[in-house]
Structure 1
Amino acid sequence: MDLETRRQFIHMSGLATPFYLLIIKIYFGNMAPAFLLAIMLAIGYFVASLYSKGVKLPLFSQLIDMAERERSKVTPGRGTFRFYTGALLAYILMLVFNKPYFMFASAVLVLAMGDSASTLVGVRFGRNKIPYNKHKSIEGAVAGFSFAFIGIFLAQVLIFAVSPLYAVIISVSASFIGMLVESLPLPVDDNLSIPVATIVFLSIIF
């Protein structure tokens, strides 16, 4: 398995995030997931700082060596930090807008599944470039939308007991805005822009 494929599968593993945070929320209250994400970011920053100074901790260092591009090892874990920072921002916005948890879950699933699928498919099969962003492909965008839609829909119906019709509307809306933002040539990292834009969009229209 090549490096980019490993990176995207690790990125896709982030789809578990809204589900274990839901358990934390149920048992410890609304603010607990935010505190946990902040703690995870602090620990990750500490480990990455040690790694950049030549101190390699077991398991963590192996993950960095396995998943990071060589040029990124000077400041390892940036993608992971941004993923969880994006999740933290989306969760805070969910609380601010007083929206149901499944909207936060949708925002994270778009990032974990849609962004990863669009990259994997785009790199390998992307032939038709998006007119306003030559670094992205239509094939990748379609794959990202499809994977995000399926993941969000199943989560809405099976985990959050949302009605199928409403789940379709939420899934289409979240997947569309997430992949639209992913396709734009923005200066902001996708890990931040996708979940934030998705939760804001869902909060406005629902």
Structure 2
Amino acid sequence: MAIMLAIGYFVASLYSKGVKLPLFSQLIDMAERERSKVTPGRGTFRFYTGALLAYILMLVFNKPYFMFASAVLVLAMGDSASTLVGVRFGRNKIPYNKHKSIEGAVAGFSFAFIGIFLAQVLIFAVSPLYAVIISVSASFIGMLVESLPLPVDDNLSIPVATIVFLSIIF
């Protein structure tokens, strides 16, 4: 996993410096938000930075790999779903952050929960009850952090907060 993170980080770093790699550049272009295209690859670079930080924290806290996977899945599935649903269907703003919607937060929680639960049960062979507890915990903290008006990019704060939270309670 460390090798995959290193490769992703390296590719995102090259892309942010203007180096275009076939296939990788096309994937990054499809995933970038319009406002981020001023600094190409910024979101991808921060995604890999957040994942790398969560991986390092998993090692520091000596936690099982599935906790790291949960932190990254909250970012990959929850943050993505909250953005897509919030932009398209978000009508009810979160009281403490007018830039985020309740609809987006609920969608983010739901998608993160499903992704984490399936990964826990199908890939990591975690018992269904324990998988539900981990999925609810990770999805809740990830979407809470995503909804806060923090000065830190949520690609960094979501996986870090999630792995720290999971490490404390499990």
Q: TM-score, normalised by structure 2?
A: 0.87
Give the CA deviation at 1:87. 0.6
Give the CA deviation at 1:158. 1.1
Distance 1:64 1:176, change over 3 A: closer
- 2:97 maps to 1:125: no
Distance 1:39 1:141, change over 3 A: same
Runs of 4+ in 1 over 2 A off after TM superposition: 37-75
Maintained 8 Å contact 2:32/2:43:
no
Q: TM-score, normalised by structure 1?
A: 0.73
Percent identical: 99
Distance 1:187 1:165, change over 3 A: same
Distance 1:165 1:43, change over 3 A: closer
Distance 1:158 1:193, change over 3 A: same
Maintained 8 Å contact 1:129/1:136:
yes
Distance 1:41 1:163, change over 3 A: closer
Q: Mark the runs of 5 or more structure 1 residues left unpaired by the alignment.
A: 1-36
Report the number of matched residues: 170
Instruction: Find the aligned partners of 2:27 and 2:108 in 1 and give their Cα distance.
Output: 25
Distance 1:48 1:134, change over 3 A: same
Greater C-alpha radius of gyration: 1
Give the CA deviation at 1:145. 0.5
Distance 1:42 1:111, change over 3 A: closer
Question: SS in structure 2 opposite 1:56?
Answer: coil
Maintained 8 Å contact 2:5/2:51:
no
Q: Mark the runs of 5 or more structure 2 residues left unpaired by the alignment.
A: none
Distance 1:56 1:158, change over 3 A: closer
Instruction: Find the aligned partners of 2:13 and 2:55 in 1 and give their Cα distance.
Output: 26
Instruction: Find the aligned partners of 2:12 and 2:73 in 1 and give their Cα distance.
Output: 25
Instruction: Find the aligned partners of 1:91 and 1:49 in 2 and give their Cα distance.
Output: 18
Give the CA deviation at 1:38. 7.2
The Cα RMSD (Å) is 2.5
- 2:133 maps to 1:165: no
Maintained 8 Å contact 1:48/1:75:
no
Maintained 8 Å contact 2:28/2:44:
no
Instruction: Find the aligned partners of 2:42 and 2:7 in 1 and give their Cα distance.
Output: 13
Give the CA deviation at 1:91. 0.7
Question: SS in structure 2 opposite 1:91?
Answer: helix
Maintained 8 Å contact 2:13/2:45:
no
Distance 1:201 1:74, change over 3 A: same
Maintained 8 Å contact 1:174/1:198:
yes
Range with greater deviation from structure 2 (142-151 or 38-47)? 38-47
| CA deviation profile, 1:165-193 (whole Å, cap 9, x unmatched) | 11111111000000000000001011100
Instruction: Find the aligned partners of 2:101 and 2:123 in 1 and give their Cα distance.
Output: 32
| CA deviation profile, 1:9-45 (whole Å, cap 9, x unmatched) | xxxxxxxxxxxxxxxxxxxxxxxxxxxx777677667
Question: SS in structure 2 opposite 1:73?
Answer: helix
Range with greater deviation from structure 2 (144-153 or 48-57)? 48-57
